[in-house]
With several copies, the nearest count.
Chain A
Amino acid sequence: MMVEADSAHTIPLLETRQLECVRDDRLLFSDLSFTLTEGEILQIEGANGSGKTSLLRILCGLRLADAGQVLWRGEEVSVVREDYYANMIYIGHLPCIKGDLTTLENIRALLDTRSQLAPLDEIEQVLALVGLAGFDDVTSKALSSGQRRRILLAFLLLAKARLWILDEPLTALDVEGVALVETMLLEHRLAGGSAIFTTHHGMQLPCAMSTVTLGRAGNQPC
């Protein structure tokens, strides 16, 4: 809020400069620059294979861009890695869930990687919120695909990160689950958080939302 005052000097939360990604001889995108400010929600659009997942992984620093930079509060991500990772959370296509651990243990393990602790009753509360009440001591391999995704939603809520990077968060969720994600995003934004996400299924957010659209893959040989 204070920063807004002299917005001329505002440093965006996340910024990309001339990003380029090449996979298997195909130029997926190049010269991709955009910024994300606090409280902004950004959807990455694009057809299948247009490079959304690749872009998100580059934003996270899990993949190297073939050219260009990703800046966190004005500094190269690889330089301020610790600060960046402490404030960012990424949830991708993959489950990140151990079938042999219970719901509760899975959440604890995920939080542990971020060195975060959460009291049991808070976890219980969040589990109820995402529709997993009563499943806290069920081993995760006995959960359905949608239920497993809901564990990740709980993790997302508990981690309290400032920036969410979500790759198709609606996968496997039922109608109620979709509504839940929408609410979560709205509340996150109200609390000043930002988010970048992809989805193929129209997400209806009653708020301003920027979009970045990636071109169709395979058209541009590089």
Chain B
Amino acid sequence: MIKKIWAWIQRFSSPKHFYAISGKLIPWFAVPAFLLGIYGLYMGLFVAPTDYQQGESYRIIFIHVPAAWMSMFIYIVMAISAAIGLIWQIKLADMIAAASAPIGAWFTFLALVTGSLWGKPMWGAYWVWDARLTSELILLFLYFGYMALQSSIEDQRTADKASGLLVIVGVVNIPIIHYSVEWWNTLHQGATVAKFDKPSMHIDMLIPLLVMALAAKLFYAAIVLMRARNEVLYRERNRQWVRDLVKKL
């Protein structure tokens, strides 16, 4: 039984097979992502009520929070696929990790900038040295480190394994981002600016937020498949099937 599953995994994860299947899968992620995105934007911008404390500025939440969630989610996906690549030597997993990094970095960047833009009206400063903000910045650097290591090691196999190990080690940062708000408070009494007082969120706010978060996940799925397909083409460039395929393009 286990052998069968293993054989199935091996077959599915063969680059050639993946390339064929992913081509068909992409629209199934892209189209719902687009529709949900439109719906979420509509709900968020037109339907959701004005916040009684923050006024209209809170509408940044529909960008900021999904982006922040994605920045962490993608990192975890990378770590898991890197682990799979390291342990079971599945090349596809390494390619997924490599393809995810730029997307994750972009989302992290987006979370940072939208957070800053939200911070100015809320806290009166674009940037404060709060733990969550800082650890998010560190996350951006972890992404950069991964990409830098990946590109500075010539041999592809070595690069994958080495940078994979790095992501796995860097996972310690994720709980820090998540729990930092509490830890920081216990450390610096009174010094905290970021105390998100969240009166149980209005359902009209919550729905667009969740819709946008889902749209972001689907968007990521579509893009990561596109990127992984490029990786496959490049890395398997000496295989006959890629050559046959490219000749037709």
Contact = CB atoms under 8 A, between A and B. Distances in A.
Contacts, number: 9
A25 B238 contact: yes
B197 interface: no
A69 to B, nearest CB: 15
A142 interface: yes
B154 interface: yes
B238 A222 contact: yes
A141 interface: yes
B99 to A, nearest CB: 21
Contacts of B154: 24, 139, 141-142
Interface in A125-149: 139, 141-142
A167 to B, nearest CB: 19
Nearest to A139: B154
Interface in B138-160: 154, 157
Interface residues of A, number: 8
Which of B154, B157, B237 has the most CB atoms of chain A within a 10 A radius of its CB? Answer: B154
A64 interface: yes
A139 B154 CA distance: 10
Contacts of A25: 237-238
Interface of A: 24-25, 64, 139, 141-142, 221-222
Contacts of A139: 154
A205 to B, nearest CB: 35
Tell me the interface secondary structure of chain B in the complex.
loop
Contacts of A24: 154
B48 to A, nearest CB: 53
A13 B238 CA distance: 35
B238 A64 contact: no
9 contacts: A24-B154, A25-B237, A25-B238, A64-B157, A139-B154, A141-B154, A142-B154, A221-B238, A222-B238
Contacts of A222: 238
A141 B238 CA distance: 21
Contacts of B237: 25
A142 B155 CA distance: 10
A222 B237 CA distance: 10
Interface in B190-249: 237-238
Contacts of B157: 64
A221 B154 CA distance: 19
Contacts of A64: 157
